[in-house]
Structure 1
Amino acid sequence: MTEMLSLPDLSHASWNRSTFPPPTQGITEVAARERFGNCLSTFAAKPDLGPGRQQGSRLYVYRSGVIVTAPGDYVGAYAWETMRVLQYPPSVESGAGYRSCTLIDPHGNAVALGPGGLYLTRAARREYGITSAVQGSRILYPSEWGPYIQKAVAAAQLNPTLLRMARGETIDFGPLKADRIGLHDSEKSVAWQDIADFDLSHRTLTFNSPCMRPVLAATDTYKIVNIHLFLTLCRTLTP
C-alpha cells in the first residue's frame, strides 16, 4: 500500500520565528520563475565567519523548493520534485546532530550546505553526475532545515517514483538501485518479498531476510541519494 506523505506543519517551527531578512527582489524573481510559491522562511550563515566571507549566504525555503545563495554570487534553485540530496548526519531518522548535505539539481549543479566540504571524490562526483560543485555556508539550524528538505523531497517524489517503477524503470539511489522486482547493489539482487526488515545503525543500512540474515551488503547512508525517499519506498514495498 502506498504510504501517504505530507509536509510537516511549519507554523510552530522555531525557525519560522526567525528575524532573518526576507528574500531580495532578485531571489523573489528566481522563485517566481521556478514557480516555487511563497517563502516559508530564511536561514542565514553563522555570524562568526568573518567580514565579507559568507554573511550573504542564505537558504530560502519555499513551498516547492529552496533557493541557495553562496560566496561568489552563486544562486541555485532546487525543486522538491527534481532535486537529489546527499545527507551527512549521525542519525538519519531523527535529524539529531544533523551536519550537512549536498543538493544536486537535474543538470548536475551541486551545492554543499553545513560545515565541512562536499565529501565527494572526483570519482564520486562522476558517479552522481555532478558537473559543477559549490561549497556553501554553515547555515544556522541544520537540524531543522536538513530533515525538512529530506521530508519535502520524499513527499514530492514518492508517487512519481512508484509510477516510474510500475512502468519498468530502475531508480538510481547511488550504490543501491530499485525497481518493481526488488533492490540491487553492485553484486547482488533481492526481491522485495524476501526483505523482512532493514536496520539503520552506525550510519549504515542493512537489509535482512526473514531469518534475520543480511541479504545485501551494508551500505553507508551518506552515499544513498534521497535517503528519506528511499527508506519510505522500502517501507511501502516490503511485506
Structure 2
Amino acid sequence: MITPNRPEDVADTRHTVPLTQLIHLMAEYQHLGAHRDTFLATPADDTFVRGCGIVAGCIATIGIIVGAVGGWQGGVALLVIAAAPVLLALHRGVINRQNRAARIDLFDHGVTVYRSGQRVAGFRWDSTEVRQHSIPFHDTTPVTYLLELSGPGGVEATIDEEGFARAREWARAIQSAVTATQLPVAVAAIDNGETVPFGDLSLSLDALTFRDEALPWEDIQLIDARSGHIRIKLSGMWMSLAPVSTIPNFYIFNELAERLRLTPVG
C-alpha cells in the first residue's frame, strides 16, 4: 500500500483500511511521533433507553384501559404522550451507535480524533487552538468536559465526556501538552514586543486589550475567570470581558496575563 501524501488521501482510504491503521497514517502525515494512549467511546448506557421503554409502556397501557372503558379521547391522548419517550429512546440508540467506534489517540506531538462516519482529524500541539467550555479551578468542583479543537486548514473536532470515556484524563493531557508546547513561544513573542491574540482579547508588555480598548497592567488589580467569564478588577470595580469558552488556549492566556499583571514593565 502507498502511504497517503495528503489528508484527502487518508480520508479516501477509510473504506478499505482498518481504523487503527488509518489513525496511524494520519499521525505519520502530521508527524505526531510515538503513540501514547487511546481513549475509547463512552460505554452506551442502556438504563435511559430501558427507562423510556418502561414509561412508554405504562402510559400506553393506561391509555388502552381508558379507551376500553369509553374514554377514547383520553386514551388517544395518552398514546400520543407515550410516543415521546419512544422517540427519545430511538434518538439515544442512534447516538449510541454513532459513538461506538469513536476514539481519541494521543501521540508525543499531537492527537487524532475519530467519530463514526467522519474523517480522522489530526492536530499538532504546536498549532492547535483549544476552547474549553468549563474550566475547573478546584479538584472538587464538578466540571462537564467539552473541548473544541481547531487546527490549520480549518480542521476541527469537538470532544466531550458523553462521547469519550476518561474525560478528565484526556482533557488534562491535551491542555497540558498544548500549554507546554506553545507557552514558551508566546512568552518569547511578548518579550520581543509583539502582541499575542486570544480571540477578542490580546496581551502585550504594556496592556491587556479587549476589543481595541487597551487596559494597562498597572491598572489591573485582579484577573478572575471562575464565573465562566474573564473578569478584571479596575480601581475596585469588576469589568466583565469575554466568556472563557471563546478564549483559545485559555491556560496559556491565564499564565501570560498573571505574569504580566504581577511584573508590569515600568
TM-superposed deviation, 1:186: 1.4
- CA distance 1:81–1:175, change in 2 (3 Å): same
Structure number with higher helix proportion: 2
Q: 1:61 aligns with which of 85, 106, 121?
A: 106
TM-superposed deviation, 1:179: 2.1
Q: TM-score, normalised by structure 2?
A: 0.65
Code of the residue aligned with 2:155 in structure 1: it is N
Secondary structure at the aligned position of 1:196 is classed as strand
Residues 116-159 of structure 1 deviation map (CA, whole Å, 9 limit, x = unaligned): xxxxxxxxxxxxxxxxxxxxx71112122112211211111111
**Aligned ranges for residues 145-160 of structure 1 at < 5 Å?**
145-160=170-185
Q: 1:164 aligns with which of 170, 185, 189?
A: 189
Count of aligned residue pairs for this structure pair: 194
Q: Distance in 2 between matches of 1:33 and 1:221?
A: 32
Question: Does the CA-based 8 Å contact 1:36-1:63 persist in structure 2?
Answer: yes
Q: Distance in 1 between matches of 2:227 and 2:147?
A: 18
Question: Does the CA-based 8 Å contact 1:150-1:227 persist in structure 2?
Answer: no
- CA distance 1:146–1:96, change in 2 (3 Å): farther
Question: Does the CA-based 8 Å contact 2:203-2:257 persist in structure 1?
Answer: no
Q: TM-score, normalised by structure 1?
A: 0.72
Q: Distance in 2 between matches of 1:99 and 1:158?
A: 22
Question: Does the CA-based 8 Å contact 1:151-1:229 persist in structure 2?
Answer: no
Residues 8-33 of structure 1 deviation map (CA, whole Å, 9 limit, x = unaligned): xxxxxxxxxxxxxxx82222232233
Secondary structure at the aligned position of 2:237 is classed as coil
Secondary structure at the aligned position of 1:36 is classed as coil
- CA distance 1:202–1:185, change in 2 (3 Å): same
Question: Does the CA-based 8 Å contact 2:137-2:226 persist in structure 1?
Answer: no
Secondary structure at the aligned position of 2:43 is classed as coil
Which residue matches 2:41?
Answer: 45
Which residue matches 2:136?
Answer: 91
Which runs of 5 or more structure 1 residues have no equivalent in the other structure? 1-22, 116-136
Code of the residue aligned with 2:26 in structure 1: it is V
Question: Does the CA-based 8 Å contact 2:43-2:165 persist in structure 1?
Answer: no
Code of the residue aligned with 2:201 in structure 1: it is L
**Higher RCO, Cα 8 Å, sep 6+:** 1
Q: Rg larger in 1 or in 2?
A: 2
Code of the residue aligned with 2:213 in structure 1: it is K
Which residue matches 1:229?
Answer: 252
Which residue matches 1:30?
Answer: 26
Which residue matches 2:202?
Answer: 177
Which residue matches 2:240?
Answer: 217
Which residue matches 2:149?
Answer: 103
Question: Does the CA-based 8 Å contact 1:91-1:98 persist in structure 2?
Answer: no
Q: Distance in 2 between matches of 1:97 and 1:88?
A: 9
Q: Distance in 1 between matches of 2:43 and 2:226?
A: 34
Q: Distance in 1 between matches of 2:153 and 2:32?
A: 18
Code of the residue aligned with 2:25 in structure 1: it is E
Code of the residue aligned with 2:33 in structure 1: it is G
Q: Distance in 1 between matches of 2:107 and 2:213?
A: 40
TM-superposed deviation, 1:107: 1.8
TM-superposed deviation, 1:206: 1.1
Q: Distance in 2 between matches of 1:166 and 1:93?
A: 31
TM-superposed deviation, 1:164: 2.1
- CA distance 1:223–1:73, change in 2 (3 Å): closer
Residues 52-79 of structure 1 deviation map (CA, whole Å, 9 limit, x = unaligned): 4222111001121111112323111111
Q: Distance in 1 between matches of 2:189 and 2:172?
A: 25
